[in-house]
Amino acid sequence: MITLYGIPNCDTVKRARKTLDSAGITHHFHDFRRDGLSPEQAQSWLDTLGADQLINRRGTTWRQLDSTAQAQAESAQAAQLLCDHPALIKRPVIDRGNALRVGFPAKQADEIISWLQQG
């Protein structure tokens, strides 16, 4: 089962969901804010993808954090930081069961659809 993780009002998430629906790709949408994120899940993503790929350091949420909280992104407390501030996660995170991908650039939509169909 493909799971698309994100926040429903995010434009990139909206585009990804619409594209997957149009391509006939069955998926489950997991809303970070409504459904939550466990520290174990966040840590698994950090282990697999790395903080640089997973954490959005260019967004408003990042800029609103104090320097102590920002320093957590490079520590063993990064998973908890992501659970406390799910908007820090680059979106969407796509889990096809055996592999993860972050983001959904419009110019890569066909490539992502092919990647999902391989899974």
Is residue 39 within 8 A of residue 80, CB to CB? The reply is yes
For residues 45-70, give the mean pLDDT: 95
Annotated catalytic residue: which of 10, 49, 65, 69? Answer: 10
Average pLDDT over residues 39-44: 96
Q: Which domain holds residue 56?
A: 2-118
What was the pLDDT predicted at 73? 92
Helices then strands (H, E): number in the chain? 8, 4
Instruction: Check whether 99 has a pLDDT greater than 90.
Output: yes
Instruction: Name the token pair of 56.
Output: 């959005």
Average pLDDT over residues 8-13: 95
Query: Which CATH number do you get for residue 50?
Result: 3.40.30.10
Question: Structurally, how many domains does the chain consist of?
Answer: 1
pTM of the model: 0.93
Q: Would you tell me the crossing angle of helices 109-118 and 11-22 to the nearest 10 degrees?
A: 60
10 is catalytic: yes
Report yes or no: 46 and 54 within 8 Å, Cβ to Cβ.
Answer: yes
Average pLDDT over residues 49-70: 95
Above 90 in pLDDT, residue 119? no
